[in-house]
Structure 1
Amino acid sequence: MDIVNLNDAPPFTTKDGSEIRELLAHRNSCIEKQSLAEARLPPGTSTTAHYHPKTEEIYYITHGQGRMQIGDELKDVVVGDSIAIPPGQVHQITNTGSETLRLLCCCAPAYEHDDTILVEPEEG
């Protein structure tokens, strides 16, 4: 039986700049086709805009508030919101609150740095 407590999951920084604690994935459990992690963003910060060619994601907000952008759509998000991110969609989340934004990230297939493509900001 594989059980990983959030407090025992070592943090690392993903390619998009968020601090992640990987809870379950092929790297630490019998799970092979998806991953579950907690991401944290300090107040006033954003992930780098990016997309995943293969991976679909679900974000679930557990602490704080933010602004989610998928493609050209922008929406404010709060605790309890679930966000569907299809493969290939450029996305970014910004912490708009005064506390650390914390969210669960479910990825299928599992998160990999190689499946994260950063998007350069548009000059204008």
Structure 2
Amino acid sequence: MAEQANDTLKVSKHNAEHYMWGDNCDGWHLVKGQDLSVIFERMPANTAEVRHYHERSRQFFFVLCGQAVLEVEGVRYEIGVQEGVEVPPGAKHQMKNESSADVEFLVISQPTTRGDRIHTK
């Protein structure tokens, strides 16, 4: 007989810790560890995060739906569905939604970005 799966290990935006950021943007912590962070984020139309960098954290932004723009060190990357961009530690970057629809994406950070975010001008 097959064993029943333990649903306590399953995570989704419906049972993950939720927070709001920026201009009415949403985030859900899918994995919230010191060595690894995976966040599901939603940005409404015409919103942007604050330009910043991380001294230690390496990040990967992966679009699930919509169209995003990720500016990294002055280079503009248009990211469509099932596309992503890696941001190394120290690289100044800013995620933007310049479209008229929501964009949903994953942000994977190693290690976590908590305490490692420096805003730039």
TM-score under structure 2 length normalisation: 0.84
How far has the Cα of 1:21 moved from its partner?
Answer: 0.5
What's the % identity of the aligned pairs? 22
Q: Deviations over 1:64-90 (max 9, x none)?
A: 112110001012111111110000101
Q: Matches of 2:26 and 2:119 in 1, distance apart? A: 16
Extract unaligned runs of 5+ from structure 1.
27-31
Show the counterpart of 1:81: 83
Q: 1:29-68, CA deviations, whole angstroms, 9 ceiling, x for partnerless residues? A: xxx5211111111100101101111100001000111211
- Equivalent-residue separation in structure 2 for 1:82 and 1:115 (angstroms): 22
Compute the RMSD of aligned alpha carbons: 1.5
Q: Write out the 4+ residue segments of structure 1 that deviate beyond 3 Å after TM superposition.
A: none
**Unpaired segments ≥5 residues, structure 2:** 1-7
* Superposed counterparts of 1:18-37, under 5 Å: 18-26=25-33, 32-37=34-39
1:93 to partner: Cα distance = 1.3
Once the two structures are TM-superposed, the CA of residue 13 in structure 1 deviates from its matched residue by: 3.3
Within the alignment, does 1:55 sit opposite 2:57 as a pair?
yes
2:96 & 2:47 partners in 1: Cα distance? Answer: 6
Deviation at 1:20, TM superposition (A): 1.3
User: Of Structure 1 and Structure 2, which has the larger fraction of its residues in strand?
Assistant: 2
User: Alignment partner for residue 97 of structure 1, among 75, 80, 99?
Assistant: 99
Task: Report deviation, 1:11.
Answer: 1.9
CA contact 2:54–2:113 (8 Å) conserved in 1? no
- The one-letter code of the counterpart of 1:53 is E
